[in-house]
Structure 1
Amino acid sequence: MRKVWILGLLLAFLLAGMQTARAKMIHIGETQIVSHPALNNDSKGFKKALEEEGFVEGKNVVFDRRNAQGEMSNCYPIAQKFFDDKVDLIHAISTPSAQACVKVCKGIPIVFSSVTDPVKTGIVPKLGKTGTNVTGVSDRWPITLQCEMYQKFVPKAKRWGTIYNPGDINVTFHIKEMKAAVEKMGGKLIEAHVSSSAEVMQAVQSLVGRVDAIHITSDNACVSALEAIVKVCNQNHIPLFVGDRDSVPRGAIAAYGLDYFLVGYEAGKKAAQILKGKKPGEIPAGQATKFTLWINLKAAKIQGVKVPKAMLDKADKIWDVNGKVIKGS
């Protein structure tokens, strides 16, 4: 009888220990609109920042990572699951993902990243201390400066093409600024619209013969299907420029853009503050600011562009005609 009592006591202690260990685990829901290198690097940076602050996956943190597969309608069920599961914190990568979480997950701390304009899209009432359950990092790009810089690669280009989803309010801000910049330089912006990555190939083919160069901005459908755009541009010698650096080694000529690992890293540092007890609304939401120029000489050769020496001198990272990095790291 005594042995049974001791075994029961040991079992009780064991169960209590398991429950305590389980209670110490922090549950983080991470959602992104689609998979592509920029957003994936955002996620990696977020995880790295948390690790540096003592929040390690598998040790005291459990991640529930969800991907909307490029469909905005999938963002809300993901947000609802996080809310139903009562996760401790949400990392929302991209505007659609963040909008869904803000609307559904009342009371749960939310850290957004890779969001162009969190104020105009209703994610936060203002940058700085929001006073809400939301903070994060905006990836707003210097569109006008990008347009002016890319024009130097192809000074004779007058007809600039772009492809985007008009239903993505994030992207429409960029397109409006791009159009104004192109027209200011004496050119014309020619648009092709898509609603998903499956339509990108047809959209880029529709621009052949109508444009002198193509500039792809922050549209997630296009970035996730960039290989289709690169293929058509290579076949037709259309210079291709992009806004995110991770698309340069994939076949674009150049990008003046952000390091998305650092975007996620900064968001991760904010998340760590929350997990240590600080309120999200007291942690300033802000913009990423470090932009660098990457150039792919192999893509330039295929697409018929001679890169000016001034741009090569300015570049932070360069791939040669064989795809080898010859400047930067």
Structure 2
Amino acid sequence: IVAGGSTAIRATKNATKAIPIVMAHGSDPVALGYVASLSRPGGNITGLTHLAPELGGKRLELLKDMIAQLTRVAVLTDPGTGGHGPQIKELEPAARALAVQLLVIPVRAPNELENGFSAMIAGRSGAFIGLQQPTLDRVRDRIVELANKNRLPGMYPNSEYVEAGGLVSYAADIVALFRRTASYVDRILKGARPAELPVEQPTNFELVINLKTAKQIGIEIPPHVLARADRVIR
């Protein structure tokens, strides 16, 4: 079974302990109890995670580079999703190092999004980070719409948000991760045991910036940040 995202991985894990499961991408599989360790999973699950230890900190650092006066960043999250805890935990040391206060905005249903953005504004957030969660991905367009309506700079979990009008994303190349799953499937079909196949973390990350959105919400992207972009939407 190939499963992408924490919700699908959790569902397949609960469904079987015998059939091999390959994670196409997912949050911290150790913290979520999917595997015993990255180097030796120890069960019927292996594959790839879209998170790397430095990813949350890098996203926060990029926001700070873009908005030098940034002191408060909201974190848009669905607390009912498996990746919530690990991703919040990953941001905390970077926030302390950058002297940025995090404001966690829980959104458990689509009809809570508008109130969530109102809470960001009321909390004087200078920007927000959207976590990589399937429940948020399903309302991607609405999140982008509300962010731009409130002229709030957003760091998004993948480039699809930026293509939909979001400001910026810094993320693992999800397409590349799905391609890598084929090698796991091939090895398992040839007799390898998932318990002994190490979980891989991403090595390729992509910075995507939407200059049209930057102009719309009144943000000027510094040249040194723009020069680091892998893709710019104009």
Describe the shift of the 1:109–1:203 C-alpha distance in structure 2 as closer, same or farther (beyond 3 A). Answer: same
Answer yes or no: is 1:254 the counterpart of 2:165. no
Look up the equivalent residue of 1:185 and give its one-letter code.
Answer: L
Structure whose alpha-carbon radius of gyration is higher: 1
In structure 1, list runs of 5 or more residues that go unmatched.
1-89, 321-329
- Please point out which of 151, 175, 178 is paired with 1:237: 151
Taking the aligned partners of 1:117 and 1:169, their CA distance within structure 2 comes to 9
Q: How many residues align?
A: 231
Q: Which residue of 1 aligns with 2:73?
A: 160
Instruction: Tell me the alpha carbon deviations over residues 296-329 of structure 1, each in whole angstroms, 9 at most, x when there is no partner.
Output: 1011111111011111111111111xxxxxxxxx
Rounded Cα–Cα distance in structure 2 between residues aligned with 1:250 and 1:235: 14
What amino acid maps onto 2:10 in structure 1? Q
Q: 1:223 aligns with which of 137, 143, 148?
A: 137
1:275 deviation in Å? 2.1
CA distance in 1, matches of 2:89, 2:185: 32
Three-state SS of the structure 2 residue aligned to 1:314 is coil
Partner in structure 2 of residue 190 of structure 1: 103
Percent of paired sites with the same residue:
27
Give 1:151 deviation, angstroms.
0.9
Query: How has the CA–CA distance of structure 1 residues 265 and 198 changed in structure 2, closer, same or farther, with 3 Å as cutoff?
Result: farther
Whether the aligned pair in 2 keeps the contact of 1:200 and 1:222 (CA below 8 Å) is: no
Q: Tell me which residue corresponds to 1:207.
A: 120
- Aligned with 2:30 (options 119, 128, 131): 119
The Cα shift of 1:266 comes to: 0.9
Q: Which amino acid aligns with 1:101?
A: T
Look up the equivalent residue of 2:166 and give its one-letter code: A
Structure 1 residues 78-117: aligned runs within 5 Å: 90-117=1-28
Alpha-carbon spacing, 1:247–1:125, altered in 2? closer, same or farther (3 Å): same
Once the two structures are TM-superposed, the CA of residue 222 in structure 1 deviates from its matched residue by 2.2
CA distance in 1, matches of 2:205, 2:6: 20
CA distance in 2, matches of 1:132, 1:177: 25
* Aligned-pair CA distance for 1:92: 1.5
CA-to-aligned-CA distance 1:258-308 (integer Å, 9 cap, x gap): 111111111122012222333222332221221121111011111111011
Residue 247 of structure 1: SS of its match in structure 2? helix
Residue 143 of structure 1: aligned partner = 56
Q: CA deviation at 1:125?
A: 0.9
Given the superposition, is the C-alpha separation of residues 272 and 199 from structure 1 closer, same or farther in structure 2, using an over 3 Å criterion? farther
Inter-CA distance 131–232: structure 2 relative to 1 (3 Å threshold): closer
Q: Could you say what the CA RMSD is over the residues aligned between the two structures, in angstroms? A: 1.8
User: Partner of 1:201: helix, strand, or coil?
Assistant: helix
> Which residue of structure 2 lines up, in the alignment, with residue 290 of structure 1?
204
Structure 2 residue runs of 5 or longer lacking an equivalent are none
Q: Does 1:301 align with 2:212?
A: no
CA contact (8 A) 2:24 2:47 kept: yes
Residue by residue over 1:84-120, the C-alpha shift from the partner in whole angstroms, topping out at 9 and shown as x without a partner, is xxxxxx1111123212322321211111122111111
Following superposition, which runs of at least 4 residues in structure 1 exceed 6 angstroms of deviation?
A: none
Q: Compared with structure 1, are the counterparts of its residues 284 and 186 closer, same or farther at alpha carbon in structure 2 (3 Å cutoff)?
A: closer
CA 1:200–1:114: 2 relative to 1, 3 Å:
farther
